[in-house]
Amino acid sequence: MKIDFNKNNDGLVPAIIQDAETQKVLMLGYMNKEAFAETKRRKKLVFYSRSKKRLWMKGEESGNTLELQSVKVDCDADTLLFQVKPNGPVCHKNTDTCWSEENKQALGFVGALEETIQQRKNTLPKDSYVASLFKSGINAVAQKVGEEAVEMIIEAKDDKQELFLNESADLFFHYLLLLHAKGNNFNDVLEILQERHKS
């Protein structure tokens, strides 16, 4: 791996730190050759502190270390991307990331959909299908998931791909409703799957 430590005339390159599982960007640090070598040797992230003018291992005081999983260098060979396993909060302000974000799986549209579902659950607007199901109680929501599952299985036996995908979408949507009716969310399920994947 060739890294251009001399490009900026200070011997430092930016190091972007990303959680290997959630893909969340956790922090940005700087490394020189020595910090990079120490990171590879220890299998824990070591940076160069521009304020203290020395090497420092993340978590050397707090214990919140960053375990090295992988490293890549960008196309210009002057920026590093580390994937890590964080042991505790990353920011010195005791937050998961230096942007005060929760270090959870980024779900994109699914996350936005869950926000809408939770809002409907909290406010129960009169003209909302989602709110009407929540008002009907957990049994009604669970029954709807069962109905959608049966419909998806029926479509799976035929060759009409569009109908199968539509029924799959209906099942997934109502499954999200059931999760929220139980006070959970999709990230809770993903965390269990990730733990199973490790074992």
The per-residue pLDDT for range 98-151, each reduced to its tens digit, is 999 988 877 788 988 999 999 999 999 999 999 999 999 999 999 999 999 999
Q: 29 with 79, same domain? A: yes
pLDDT in tens, 32-67: 999 999 999 999 999 999 999 999 999 999 999 999
Q: Is 35 inside a domain boundary?
A: yes
- If asked whether residues 126 and 194 sit together in one domain, one would say yes
Please check whether residue 54 lies inside any domain of the structure.
Answer: yes
- Domain boundary residue, one of 86, 119, 150: 86
**Is 101 contained in some domain?**
no
* Number of domains into which the chain is organized: 2
The answer to whether residue 76 is domain-embedded is: yes
Which of 190, 188, 185, 176 is closest to 141 using CA atoms? 176
What would the two tokens of residue 154 be?
């029926």
Instruction: Kindly report the pTM of this predicted structure.
Output: 0.66
Answer whether residue 55 is part of any domain: yes
- 35 is in which domain, residue-wise? 13-86
Residue type, 113: L
Opening angle at CA 188, ends 127 and 121, nearest 5: 15
